[in-house]
Amino acid sequence: MSEIQNKINKLIENRETARMGGGEKAIAKQHEKGKFTARERIQMLLDEGSFEEFDMFVTHRCYDFGMEKKHTFGDGVVTGYGTIDGRLVYVFAQDFTVTAGSLSLALADKICKVMDMAMRAGAPCIGLNDSGGARIQEGVNALAGYANIFQRNVMASGVIPQISAIFGPCAGGAVYSPALTDFIIMKKNTSNMFLTGPKVVKTVTGEDVTQEQLGGAIVHTTKSGVAQFAVDTEEEGISLIRQLISYMPQNNMEDAPLAMCTDSIARLEDSLNEIIPDNPNQAYDMYEVIKAVVDNGEYLESAASYAKNIITCFARFNGQSVGIIANQPKFMAGVLDINASRKAARFVRFCDAFNIPIVTLVDVPGFLPGTTQEYGGVITHGAKLLFAYCEATVPKVTVTLRKAYGGAYIVMSSKHIRGDINYAWPSAEIAVMGASGAVEVLYAKQLAAFTDAEEKAKFIAEKEQEYKDLFSNPYNAARYGYIDDVIEPRNTRFRIIRALQSLATKRLQNPAKKHSNIPL
């Protein structure tokens, strides 16, 4: 056998060794936990045969605490690029079978390299996280590795889409990289995210808490809002990443890909003419409206279990990717509060960063009152949503279905904050407040003078009706041009699509600045 053939055989052997990660026992242990290996995850994520790996033979550079005897090809992360539905993406997957996927400087360098390449190529970067945290043996070098990744997350923000999937532990400083990305997917029961673990919590605060209670998928998708998606299986999570990517452009200089539309543009949805109840205080389901107007009734909701009073989702109109923000009257009457404002503001800013038009469906009675909200800074958080809409330069189409009261009317992509095309249904009520509250303010002196309860009630009823006649319809706002047209509900799909078509060539630039100072 020639020397060259020997070297080729050695290469093949080394590749096989690298692909085995931490070895058969470690892989078996990973499978016993119901977890896939890093390579298995990448294989599921990318189009078959498209993965091109980098840095397969990198090893760590630590010689303390006996680490000089423990070198593994790849050093705990698999990196490279491939395609999803034929579109280029870059990916890194932490390998828990190698030193529990702990982060060394060499491992961080591999991740940084692939992120740099994604930026240069203008392609999404996907991180599959499953790591025990910093490699303690490397000391400050491990911290430097994290910091290098965080810096790249920030530089890539708004330039290329960044998606994180948490398929195992993600603790301490490691949580900040996913937190800096656009969307986080967590697997129930096996993934967790927290800055300090249960033992530290017990020592410092005395609380007894499990990892799942402290930072599990349900916690972060219902209570904290840190993650947007919780999935039952890794397969579901990976399928979700592929679906998410389909709504996004490759980078901030491109538009999202157009999908083939098999749904008629002019489809009428008669059910929408009947969906608004006669009683203004009665709820209906905004999901029914969304399903009725988008292509084939299909949408992908983000943060579905968090701040349910507002809906944020991706959908398509005539094959065009859009972001939908919609108040949900079925939950807390669709009122805006701290969590809803934060959730929606983040979604608006993502859509604006990546040239995805925004469709806003409005039915909002105002902001949630009370000391809990005021002490929690609802003013600042509400201002985030206002700021996001004001700053957005993408096409913005707004449809007011029913209530649009007070500051919440302004915030929800009104004409005054550069809403491009603003429609209203005949059931729309655009006013400073509801009739009962308005009468109390407008006629406070007269009401105080009444001694007869029956006469007072009659007076209130008359004045409320006067107020309703004036504001419980969209024509007062339309008179000033704040509403571009009052539309028949069943025509909503057609009118939105036509509006988006007319805005396809929209050009709007904000003043030159280093960056804005969004209220945080």
pLDDT in tens, 343-400: 999 999 999 999 999 999 999 999 999 999 999 999 999 999 999 999 999 999 999 9
Co-location of 220 and 282 in the same domain? no
CB neighbours of residue 416 within 10 Å: 11
Q: 262-297 pLDDT, tens per residue?
A: 999 999 999 999 999 999 889 999 999 999 999 999
Co-location of 159 and 234 in the same domain? yes
Co-location of 311 and 447 in the same domain? no
Co-location of 198 and 79 in the same domain? yes
CA distance 25 to 387: 53
Co-location of 389 and 461 in the same domain? no
Judge contact between 320 and 294, C-beta under 8 A. no
Which tops the pLDDT comparison, 495 or 100?
495
In the predicted model, is pLDDT for residue 62 greater than 70?
A: no
Considering the candidates 158, 197, 297, 407, report the single residue annotated as catalytic: 407
Co-location of 306 and 201 in the same domain? no
Residue 265 is assigned to a structural domain of this protein = no
Q: 64-103 pLDDT, tens per residue?
A: 665 666 767 778 899 999 999 999 999 999 999 987 778 8
145 is catalytic: no
Exposure pattern of 227-249 as b/e (b: 16+ CB <10 Å)? bbbbbeebeebbebbbebbbbbb
173 is catalytic: yes
Percent of the chain with pLDDT over 90: 71
Judge contact between 119 and 159, C-beta under 8 A. yes
The amino acid sitting at 468 is K
Residue 261 is assigned to a structural domain of this protein = no
172 is catalytic: yes
Residue 142 is assigned to a structural domain of this protein = yes
Residue 516 is assigned to a structural domain of this protein = no
In the predicted model, is pLDDT for residue 170 greater than 60?
A: yes
Residue 509 is assigned to a structural domain of this protein = no
Q: What is the pLDDT of residue 470?
A: 83
CATH number reported for the structural domain that contains residue 125 in this entry? 3.90.226.10
Q: What is the pLDDT of residue 67?
A: 62
In the predicted model, is pLDDT for residue 242 greater than 90?
A: yes
CB neighbours of residue 222 within 10 Å: 16
Please tell me the least confidently modeled range out of 173-177, 303-307, 367-371, 512-516: 173-177
Considering the candidates 172, 334, 382, 419, report the single residue annotated as catalytic: 172
Tally of domains within the chain: 3
Q: What is the pLDDT of residue 126?
A: 98
Residues 6+ apart with CB under 8 A from 500: 317, 318, 320, 322, 357, 359, 395, 397
Co-location of 220 and 303 in the same domain? no
Query: 164 is written with which tokens?
Result: 């994180």
Q: How far apart are the first and last CA of the chain?
A: 67
CA distance 237 to 256: 22
* Count of alpha carbons within 13 angstroms of residue 19, beta-carbon side: 10
In the predicted model, is pLDDT for residue 181 greater than 60?
A: yes
CA distance 38 to 351: 30
Q: What is the pLDDT of residue 132?
A: 82
The model's confidence at residue 63, banded by pLDDT at 50, 70 and 90, is low
Judge contact between 356 and 394, C-beta under 8 A. yes
Co-location of 172 and 285 in the same domain? no
> What is the model's pTM?
0.94
Residue 507 is assigned to a structural domain of this protein = no
Considering the candidates 217, 408, 424, 438, report the single residue annotated as catalytic: 408
Co-location of 467 and 479 in the same domain? no
Co-location of 379 and 276 in the same domain? yes
Co-location of 119 and 67 in the same domain? yes
Average pLDDT for residues 127-156, to the nearest whole number? 88
Co-location of 188 and 206 in the same domain? yes
49 is catalytic: no
**What residue numbers bound the domain in which 406 lies?**
270-428+473-502
Considering the candidates 158, 173, 297, 319, report the single residue annotated as catalytic: 173
